[in-house]
Amino acid sequence: MSDLLFSVFPNENFVDLDLYQFGWEQCTPAHSFGPAARNHYLFHYVISGTGTLMADDSKGVTQTYQIKSGQGFMLFPGQISTYVADKNLPWEYAWLEFGGLKVREMIEIAGITKDSPIYHANSKDLRQNMMEEMLYIVKNADKSPLHLIGHLYLFLDYMTRSAATMRLKHGGRLRDFYIKEALSFIEQNFQNDISVEDIAAFCGLNRSYFGKIFHDTIGKSPQEFLMSYRMQKATELLKLTQLSIGDIGNAVGYSNQLHFSRAFKNVYGVSPREWRNANRIGPPRSGAT
């Protein structure tokens, strides 16, 4: 028999956001539910284990998804679905059923649709915060309705920020904010082993959407810009300091001197040493490499 916590929310007719039922379950092997349709949005977050979701897409065609720990799935009002826990590693999950006037917009911000119902987080910290809010609601069913609605808002905030494909609003000001955040992160961390995924996660955006708005705004992909920024810093060090080529590579995020020299030559057409010899300010240091 499954271990189960289940509660029905004392509906207070909240208009923008309302909660209907919520719970947690350690599923038995091959535990299943459905086929069935819900009246509201129903979100499951998988804490551990794996399983299968079968759900109709926007055209009414049944799609099959494998969902494991750290992921989640959204069921939409009126959508026919069936979900089955794995027989060897069954799910442990928490769920919330909710609705309201603001819900559709919030879910769209997170990039979750009938055609893409699986929750993928780009930030482990925000994902953890989201799960904690879900479990808080499940374990505090005796709190006041307004108190639980407050935590439902927090859950949605963490969900949208951890998986956001944020739509541009207010004449691009939101886009500008994210680009400013990204450039600041690069400026402060270019010397470290950072990736485009790290930059996108810092901004709270998924990688593909972040890459699109960055390229549209800057004219380069994030990876191209990061390399260009590092190479620009490298030329300053080559021109103004007596640091070795290896030390300069380390200073701009390349622990391997060969990788640094290769990347530098791809950008400038010459090796770092050749560039230094042609552009050095001040006397050369004997033995510099």
**Predicted TM-score (pTM) above 0.75:** no
Count of domains observed in the chain: 3
54 with 92, same domain: the answer is: yes
44 with 110, same domain: the answer is: yes
273 with 241, same domain: the answer is: yes
13 with 147, same domain: the answer is: yes
Range of the domain at 233: 224-279
Tell whether 153 is covered by a domain: yes
Angle, CA 110 vertex, CA 109 and CA 112 arms, to 5°: 110
Q: Is 122 in contact with 198 (CB distance < 8 Å)?
A: no
121 with 232, same domain: the answer is: no
pLDDT at 83 over 70: yes
Average pLDDT over residues 2-23: 80
- Other C-beta atoms lying within 10 Å of the C-beta of residue 124: 11
Q: Is 191 in contact with 254 (CB distance < 8 Å)?
A: no
As a whole number, the mean pLDDT across the chain is 87
149 with 42, same domain: the answer is: yes
**CATH code assigned at 270:** 1.10.10.60
At 286, the pLDDT band (50, 70, 90 cuts) reads very low
High-pLDDT (> 90) share of the chain, %: 57
Q: Of 98-112, 190-204, 264-278, which range is least confident?
A: 98-112
At 71, the pLDDT band (50, 70, 90 cuts) reads very high
Q: Is 156 in contact with 100 (CB distance < 8 Å)?
A: no
Strands (E), the chain: 3-8, 18-26, 32-37, 41-48, 50-56, 62-68, 72-75, 80-85, 92-99, 118-119
pLDDT of residue 63: 94
112 with 210, same domain: the answer is: no
pLDDT at 282 over 90: no
pLDDT of residue 168: 38
Q: Of 8-12, 198-202, 249-253, 277-281, which range is least confident?
A: 8-12
Could you report the per-residue pLDDT of 167-182, keeping only the tens digit for each?
A: 434 445 667 778 888 9
**CATH code assigned at 214:** 1.10.10
Tell whether 197 is covered by a domain: yes
107 with 134, same domain: the answer is: yes
8 with 21, same domain: the answer is: yes
Tell whether 287 is covered by a domain: no
103 with 128, same domain: the answer is: yes
Tell whether 286 is covered by a domain: no
